[in-house]
Amino acid sequence: MKAFEGDRTLMRIFIGEGDRCTDGSYKGMPLYQALLQMLREHGCAGASVVQGIAGFGASARIHTGSLLRLSMDLPIIVEVVDTEEKIQEVLPLMDRMIGGGLVTLEKAHVVLYRADSKSEGSAP
């Protein structure tokens, strides 16, 4: 595994659970899955998909998982931490995939990055 500690960039992609990829070989796939697959294929250090319990975006319509207002479009956040160069490399690809959403970038300082020995294929 490459050394990864130090200053990096945190990218957050805010989308909806029901969003679909709008372009490319992933067209029609759930957007969070398409993004995750694209990021992996382009060698990003890692990514996480987090489902929110409630939220609203540009439409100002509240999406929630409560029983009274059950939404099939809960908020999703895809988070990626990598070098600024790697993030800049994937941004144009993401732009073609995302129909609507929000992407933010911020500086992050990585203090630890390593795989669990169990996930590296060693015997339990």
Q: What is the pLDDT of residues 52-61, one digit of tens each?
A: 877 776 666 6
Residues 6+ apart with CB under 8 A from 68: none
User: Mind listing the domains of the chain with CATH numbers?
Assistant: 6-114 (3.30.70.120)
pLDDT, tens only, 8-63: 999 999 999 889 999 889 999 999 999 999 999 999 999 999 998 777 766 666 66
DSSP assignment, residue 24?
G
pLDDT band at 114 (very low <50, low <70, confident <90, very high): confident
Q: What is the pLDDT of residue 123?
A: 40
Predicted structure pTM score: 0.81
DSSP H helices, 50-106, are: 84-97
- Whether residue 64 has pLDDT greater than 90: no
